[in-house]
Chains A and B, each alone.
Chain A
Amino acid sequence: MSTRKAGAILYFDDLRVGDLLPVLTKRPDTRQLVMYAGASDDYVPIHYDKDLAAEAGHQSVIVHGALKSAFLGQLVTDWMGSEGRIVELQVSYRGIDYPGDVLTCKGKVTALRREGTQNLVDCDIWLENGKGEVTTPGKAVVALPAR
C-alpha cells in the first residue's frame, strides 16, 4: 500500500476504481469504551455495565456503534491527504463487536466522478471483527484536488 507521509497530498488523478485504502487496525479495550462514553456523553450502560450486558445475552460489554463510526472516519481522513475533504460518511451497525477483539477498518474506491468543480471519490468502507466478519459496513465520499 502507499506510504505517503502525514501532510502529503492525495490527488484525484492518481486513483483508480478498485484501489484499496490503507488498512487501519484498532484494538478497543474497556478503558477506551469508558473514555469514549465520557468524551461523547454517551452513558448507555451496555457499554460499561458487564452484568447488564450479560443479562441482554452478550459475552461482555459491547463497543459503541458510534466509536466504530469514528474508527471508519479515521480510516478515511488518514487516507485522503492534507487537501482532501470528507463529504459523506455513512455507517450501519449490523453486528455487535466486543472489547478485546481486533477490529480492522478497510475501504475500496468504487467510483471517481466530477460534480461541478469538485472531484469526488466514492468508497465502500467496512469494519471486520477478528474472525474476518464484516460487522459494520458503510460508504464514504471525499473531495480531492486534481493535478
Chain B
Amino acid sequence: MAETSVITPEMQALVGTDSVPVFYDVEKGAIRKFARAIGDPSPLYVDQKAAVAAGYAGIIAPPTFARLLIPGPGSKPFPEPFRRILDGGSAYRYSEPIVAGDRIRVIARLVELFEKHGRLGTMLFKVHEIRYENQHGRVAQAQRSTVITY
C-alpha cells in the first residue's frame, strides 16, 4: 500500500453527508417527453385512462424517469481531483411509482468513496444513495448511483 490515495481526509469527511434538498413538481408533459425520448410507447406514460385502468393513481413515470430529478449540490463542496467523468451505473429500488402531479423531494447522500487503478489511470468512484420522497412523505424510490472521475 505504498501508493498514495487520491481520497483525502477532507473527502472522507463528506461521506454520510446529504445534498441540499430540492423539490420537483412532476408534470405529465415531462413524463411524455421522457417516454418519447427513450422510445417507450407504453400508454401508462401518456394516457390517464390506461394508467387508472392498470391500477395506478394517474399517469406514471417510466422506471428511470428519476434521472431527470437531479439532486441539489452537496451541503459542502466536494474537492474534485479529476476533470473527466463516467457514469458507472445505477441501482433503483421501487416502493411505489412516481405519478404525474407528485411533488418529489430529492436528497442524495454520499455513501461510499473508493478508488481503482486501471486502464484510465487512477479512478475515483463516488456512490450516492438518492432518495425520492413524495408529497405523502413516503420514499417512492431510491437510486444508488456510481459516478467515476479520472
Contacts and interface: CB of A to CB of B under 8 A. Distances in A.
Interface of A: 6-7, 26, 32, 35-36, 38-42, 44, 56, 64-67, 69-71, 73-74, 76-78, 82-83, 85-93, 138
Contact of B90 (A38, A66, A83): A66
Contact of B86 (A40, A71, A93): A93
A85 B33 contact: no
Given A32-B37, A40-B34, A89-B92, A73 B68 contact: no
Interface residues of B, number: 29
A71 B39 CA distance: 8
Interface of B: 30, 33-34, 36-40, 42-43, 54-55, 62-64, 67-68, 70, 84-94
A77 B63 contact: yes
Contacts of B36: 35, 39
20 contacts: A32-B37, A39-B30, A39-B37, A39-B68, A40-B67, A41-B70, A42-B67, A65-B88, A66-B90, A69-B64, A70-B40, A73-B63, A74-B38, A74-B62, A77-B62, A77-B63, A82-B55, A88-B93, A89-B63, A90-B92
